[in-house]
Amino acid sequence: MEPLIAHKWKRLDDLPQNWQDLCREDLTAVQKQWKEDRDLIRDDTKIQKIREKLALQWAIETGIIERLYKDDRGITVQILEAGMEALGKFHAQGRISKEARALITDQRAAIKMVMMDLVGGRRALSDSYIKELHDCLTLSQETCPAEDPDGNRTSVELLKGQWKKQPNNPTRPDGSIHEYCPPEFVQDEIDNLLKLHEKHTHDHVCPEVEAAWLHHRFTQIHPFQDGNGRVARALTSAIFLKADCLVLVVRDAEHRDRYLDALEASDRGNLKPLVDLFADIQIGDLNEAIHSVREIRGQPIVSLAETIAERALRRKVASQEQTNEVTKHLIDVAHTRLNEVAGELERAFKDKDVSSLDARVQTNEQDQQDWWSWQIIEAAKKQKYYADLKQSRRWVSLSLKRPDFDDVVTKFVISLHAVGRAADLHAAAAFLTWPLEHEDESGSRSWHCDVVAEPRFRVRAETVKVEAAENNFRDWLERVIESGLSVWGENV
């Protein structure tokens, strides 16, 4: 009986035609802020310490995620604090194995090689370079897992720096097969990968999209007997570093499940989850790096005053009229759609004859724009950004009440507001909120709040075209309405 093919190999695909829609404006904004803060540091050795710590973390995590050695969070933290020299001490104390020490050392050397060669401009990405990188990553690895003709697990000698000579299609837990590129097509596929990557560079594809594309297509080829994930993550880091971002550290404890799910989604033709994962990791690490840089600088009063003045000047010069036009248009779109949803809900309740439903839509008047402040702050915390509530903001709400059931009014709120530390970036937040006690809305801090944290929506309100903003906003709006109604429906 032939085994079931869970994923059938095919020639690699280029980027989707709508790749620009996958780019993350919030990553661009944070990267810009990182560059501004970093460039104020005159002593580059201090910046190098930040980069070195991330590179070492990459060297540790890239092996953990492939289960090359066991994870000990305490030891990992101590190694990151003490540096590479701590490896020898921990090995002497019996706290890490000889194999783990050797693999981490090799992986640190490999990411350094990438930083000096590909990022530093000494070498171009080529098939021979990829083989050298694999050889460096697997220097201390002598064998790799394999299956014999009867399907039994065994170990075989690892071919270092050489394309695979036998198929390496893994058997999944359910007995099905995941097909990778056959050995005889590897060179052709690598040549095509490099050709398309060069084209994407000339087309200025944003780093988060190019990194996700290259990572997935490389693992789809799976050109080596073993170690393909490590090579892919090293090449992905090179893309981000060349774009003035940071080494991409996919952390096992924090990202593993989402990472594997995103790769499977990419197998099905959906690159967005992998793009978003990489962008979210970069944003988190860039914000940490910005915080570290500001600690190094000590935030002297003069520098802080200059930064505030420059930011105020940029915001004064920026087109407030454009921002108002975009945010008003998007709120109008949400208002129209929520009215449609209100009608559908009332009709459905009436048709089913379960009970009455009072659904009403409201937009903020001038004296109401400051409503929902703490809920917006809560939503921003969930999505790890700072909501600047000092700037003008807009909201629209759908009120849901069942008069014959109880007196509680649930509000489903869509808010558009500025993102702090980014001159022209706005975010949308969606949340359900209702009073914990019967009181008027002036007691909103006694209200419950359920944030619809995913997906995210960001827009450069001062520069974006209204039509482009509307298309992305409509997609986001449909998804958060569905999520919000699902939460509300659980309590009906």
> Of 299, 331, 362, which residue is a domain's last?
299
Q: According to the annotation, is 421 in a ligand binding site?
A: no
pLDDT exceeds 60 at position 404: yes
15 domain-assigned: yes
Residue 59 pLDDT > 90, yes or no?
Answer: yes
State whether 126 and 221 are in the same domain.
yes
**Please, which pLDDT band fits residue 438 given cuts at 50, 70 and 90?**
low
Point out the domain boundary residue: 250, 268, 299: 299
Say what the pLDDT of residue 315 is.
61
pLDDT for position 96: 84
Same domain, 479 and 351: yes
Q: Does residue 435 sit in the same domain as residue 378?
A: yes
Residue 229 labelled as part of a binding site: yes
Strands 177-178 and 5-7: parallel
Report if residue 308 sits inside a domain: no
Q: Is 274 exposed, middle or buried (0-12, 13-18, 19+ CB in 10 A)?
A: buried
Model pLDDT, residue 444: 47
Ranking 110-114, 161-165, 318-322, 370-374 by mean pLDDT, the lowest is 318-322
Domain co-membership, 86 together with 230: yes
In terms of domains, do 286 and 369 share one? no
- Evaluate whether residue 476 is within a structural domain: yes
Whether residues 208 and 327 share a domain: the answer is no
pLDDT given for residue 353 in this prediction: 72
Q: Determine if residue 232 is labeled as part of a ligand binding site.
A: yes
Predicted local confidence at residue 127, as pLDDT: 98
Both 243 and 324 in one domain: the answer is no
Query: 119: annotated binding-site residue?
Result: no
User: pLDDT band at residue 420, thresholds of 50, 70 and 90?
Assistant: confident
The one catalytic residue among 134, 200, 216, 222? 222
Provide mean pLDDT across the span 98-116.
Answer: 95
> Is position 222 annotated as part of the catalytic site?
yes
| Across 45-67, average pLDDT | 92
- The mean per-residue pLDDT over the stretch 443-469 comes to 80
Q: Are 226 and 326 in a shared domain?
A: no
Which pLDDT band holds residue 466 (cuts at 50, 70, 90)? confident
CA geometry: angle at 198 spanning 194 and 202, to 5°? 170
By DSSP bridging, strand 177-178 and strand 143-147 are unpaired
Domain span holding position 487: 318-491
Helix 98-114 vs helix 127-137: crossing angle, to nearest 10: 150
Burial of 173 (0-12, 13-18, 19+ CB in 10 A): exposed
Please tell me the total number of residues recorded for the chain in this structure. 492
User: Percent of the chain at pLDDT above 70?
Assistant: 92
Report the domain count for the chain.
2
The answer to whether 343 is annotated as binding is no
Residue 183 lies in a domain: yes
Is 227 marked as a binding-site residue? yes
HEC profile of 293-355: HHHHHCCCHHHHHHHHHHHHHHHHHCCHHHHHHHHHHHHHHHHHHHHHHHHHHHHHHHHHCCC
Domain match, 244 and 155 both:
yes
Q: What is the pLDDT of residue 302?
A: 45
Element housing 427 (H / E): strand 425-435
226 is in an annotated binding site: yes
Mark whether 21 and 110 lie in a shared domain.
yes
What angle do helix axes 272-297 and 25-38 make, rounded to 10 degrees? 20
Cα distance between residue 485 and residue 341, in whole Å: 10
pLDDT tens digits along 191-241: 999 999 999 999 999 999 999 999 999 999 999 999 999 999 999 999 999
Mean pLDDT is lowest, of 154-158, 268-272, 281-285, 322-326, for: 322-326
How far is 265 from 255, CA to CA, in rounded Å? 15
Question: Could you tell me the CATH number of the domain that includes residue 43?
Answer: 1.10.3290.10
Question: In the predicted model, what is the mean pLDDT of the chain?
Answer: 88
In a domain, 304, yes or no: no
Same structural domain for residues 97 and 232?
Answer: yes
Tell whether 13 is covered by a domain.
yes
* 75: DSSP letter: H
Residues 426, 331 share a domain: yes
Place of tokens 């200059």: 306
Was 228 annotated as part of a binding site? Answer: yes
- Domain end marker among 268, 299, 330: 299
Give the pLDDT band of residue 298 (cuts 50, 70, 90). Answer: low
